[in-house]
Structure 1
Amino acid sequence: MTDTSAARTPREPAPEHPAETTAQRARLSWSRVVLALGSNLGNRLETLQGAIDEIADTPGVTLQRVSPVYETDPVGGPEQGTYFNAVVEVRTLLTPDLILERANSIEEAFQRVRVERWGPRTLDVDVIWFEHVTRDDPRLTLPHPRAHERSFVLAPWYDIDPEAELPGHGPIADLLARVGPAGVHRRDDLELTADR
């Protein structure tokens, strides 16, 4: 009788170069991903635009849509200034873990320091939704476990994709109607661009 299960191959030696690791961990097809950006220290608009430029320059990532800017009252944590928030949609060949690594490296490039939970920050880049991926992992839970209750995520996401749905919670439009717009103000006098 012939074994029709997947063929077993000898274990390959560990790659010698980080680029090989990245290539091996890349996905075989494009996936849509939603990232949320926030900043309340320094030049907030310049920081968000810089983060968008860094995202767009990432190999294996194509920037699709950029939301308007929202000014948001801080939620939880110590007393601090208002945030500028935005959402971007990308298409990527990278895995969720590689997207998280890239988000963290962009935060570090803008001197993000993790001292106090929900404290002020130069830049926050959160992975909100990754197409066809649901996972409960302490390092990266998908979809983001609090996205459904955050108007500063839902409002800009709705602007770029009114038909979007958050797995396990329903349409973004319904979630936004439920949480309401309190503390979140669209800044039509400010603009972020994907074309730099």
Structure 2
Amino acid sequence: MGTNTGVYLSLGTNQGNRKENLNKALARIAQDIGKVTKLSSIYSTKPWGKKDQDDFLNQVILIETTFDPTNLLDKILNIERDLGRVREEKWGPRIIDIDVLFYGDVVINIPELTIPHPAIAERKFILIPLDEISPEYVHPLLNKKVRTLLDECSDPLDVQLVEML
């Protein structure tokens, strides 16, 4: 294992007890992956991509981990599976979704993992909670601060604050 790296993760859920799903995911991330150092508020968002499903609760967190990106992905997939995630359709309903947004300044593009997450700049449900905890963070490929990406984002979906942390 290497040194600690700051990793931003996005959590999303739209099935079952959504708040409980987020809490369970947070507990497992802290237990299995690394220390949670920042936590955004929780936001409610209309579904993106596939509209005929329930609204999502979304949250962005910053963690410190010693796992390299591919081992991190394995840990995340295990947590999703353990919490009941079944991948049936793209953008479909899910009990939990954990995406790696940024892994330090690392840029990775392999079939199973793209970092930074390719859709960050297009999704307010990622940018709004990310802006809450790290507005000055600079996207390593776009070379723009999170705050600037949010200001420039044309995503029409409404993102509502549910629970301020």
Shorter-chain TM band: over 0.9
Residue in 1 that maps onto 2:40: 67
Task: Select 2:5's aligned residue among 22, 28, 31.
Answer: 31
Partner secondary structure for residue 29 of structure 1: coil
Q: Does 1:105 align with 2:68?
A: no
Q: Does 1:186 align with 2:151?
A: no
Q: Is the 8 A contact 1:148 1:166 kept in 2?
A: no
Shift of residue 182 of structure 1?
3.7
Q: Percent identical across equivalent pairs?
A: 35
Counterpart residue type for residue 149 of structure 2? L
- 1:36-185 equivalences under 5 Å are 36-58=10-32, 61-169=34-142, 170-179=144-153, 182-185=157-160
Q: TM-score, length-normalised on structure 2?
A: 0.93
For structure 2, the residue ranges without an aligned partner over 5 or more in a row are none
CA RMSD after TM alignment: 1.4
Distance 2:82 2:4 in 1: 26
> For the pair shown, which has the larger CA radius of gyration, 1 or 2?
1
Q: Is the 8 A contact 2:128 2:150 kept in 1?
A: yes
Deviates more, 1:85-94 or 1:74-83: 74-83
Shift of residue 78 of structure 1?
4.8
More strand by share: 2
Q: Is the 8 A contact 2:120 2:126 kept in 1?
A: yes
Counterpart residue type for residue 110 of structure 1? L
Counterpart residue type for residue 97 of structure 2? D
Q: TM-score, length-normalised on structure 1?
A: 0.79
Counterpart residue type for residue 173 of structure 1? R
The aligned length equals 163
Q: Is the 8 A contact 1:33 1:90 kept in 2?
A: yes
